[in-house]
Structure 1
Amino acid sequence: MVFHKEEIIRFRHCDPAGIVFYPRYLEILNDMVEDWFEAMGYPFDEMESCLGAGVPTINLNITFMHPCRQGETLSLTLRCLKIGDSSFEIKISGERMGQPILEAQIVLCFTTIGRQVNKLSIPDGIRKKMLEYNTEQTTATILIS
């Protein structure tokens, strides 16, 4: 299973050249992750208030293939590639009318939030939901130093 979302490119996303300014893609990707967690039944605000946890990005690799402009619709797809004890790797692909726009591989890690940040094991309920999006159907430990 994959998580899918449509993002309308707005004026706020674009630079003076009329194309998406690349840092705005980071915001779009972060919104995608937040929407995925909400769709799985674990909104960020509840994870924070109930579990004292967050999922910061610890590694990010993006390839940009083509520009995207204001008024266009960016079709985003999220797949879960690997699930470790506390971290997980996802792939988000973006396309516009079948043309690839970007591909991002992101590693995130469950941590405590606040002044003292420590790794946490992914809670069983969240892990079970993530496995539904694990396209490889594998789990692996991702080493984090």
Structure 2
Amino acid sequence: MLFERKKLIRFHHCDPAGIVFYPQYLVLCNELVEDWFDEGLGVNFFKLHSEMHHGVPMRHLEADFLAPSVHGDELTFTLGVDRLGGSSMRLAISAEKDGKVRFKALQTVVWADLEGTPRAVQIDDEWRERFSRYLIAQKD
């Protein structure tokens, strides 16, 4: 299963040429992860941090900028769990319009305990089950 959300490209996402300024794609990805927790996993992203004392800080990021997007475009962002490890997971994110992929990223995030000094911890069974619903079938 993939998590999917439409995102409108707004004026503040664009550079003076009217195309998405590439760091804004990372902001949109972070919004997508927050939406995924809120709507896909059923846990408010703010409460995850403030009350449950967990978070998903970035460990590694790979991004490909494949085609320009412009002000007013509505992009379909998708998120799937590409790999689920012991204390981390790799998220596959893409943004497309009219069947053409404009941006894609692989981002590895760490399942972190934020109580005291933040540190990576093992993903427990409850969270592993939630994340597993979004596992992408691996190709051989």
Give the TM-score normalised by structure 2.
0.91
1:51, distance to aligned residue in structure 2 (A): 2.3
The total of aligned residue pairs comes to: 137
Identity across the alignment (%): 36
Q: In the alignment, what sits opposite 1:8?
A: 8
Q: In the aligned structure 2, how far is the partner of 1:44 from the partner of 1:100? A: 27
Q: Within 5 Å, give how 1:59-70 maps onto structure 2.
A: 59-70=60-71
1:115, distance to aligned residue in structure 2 (A): 6.2
29-38 or 121-130, which deviates more:
121-130
Q: After superposition, what is the alpha-carbon deviation per residue over 1:19-66, rounded to whole angstroms, capped at 9, x for unaligned?
A: 000111110001111111112112222212332111011100000110
Q: Within 5 Å, give how 1:17-32 maps onto structure 2.
A: 17-32=17-32
Matched position secondary structure for 2:70: coil
Q: In 2 relative to 1, CA 129–115 (structure 1 residues): closer, same or farther, beyond 3 Å?
A: closer
Matched position secondary structure for 2:120: coil
Q: In the aligned structure 1, how far is the partner of 2:115 from the partner of 2:81? A: 27
1:114, distance to aligned residue in structure 2 (A): 6.5
Q: In the alignment, what sits opposite 1:124?
A: 125
Q: After superposition, what is the alpha-carbon deviation per residue over 1:113-140, rounded to whole angstroms, capped at 9, x for unaligned?
A: 2662211222322211111110127xxx
Two-structure CA RMSD over aligned residues (Å): 1.4
Query: Where in structure 2 are there 5+ consecutive unaligned residues?
Result: none
Q: Within 5 Å, give how 1:1-145 maps onto structure 2.
A: 1-39=1-39, 40-113=41-114, 116-136=117-137
Query: Where in structure 1 are there 5+ consecutive unaligned residues?
Result: 138-145
Q: In the aligned structure 2, how far is the partner of 1:18 from the partner of 1:114? A: 42
Question: What letter corresponds to residue 14 of structure 1 in structure 2?
Answer: C
Contact 1:42 1:126 in 2 (8 A): no
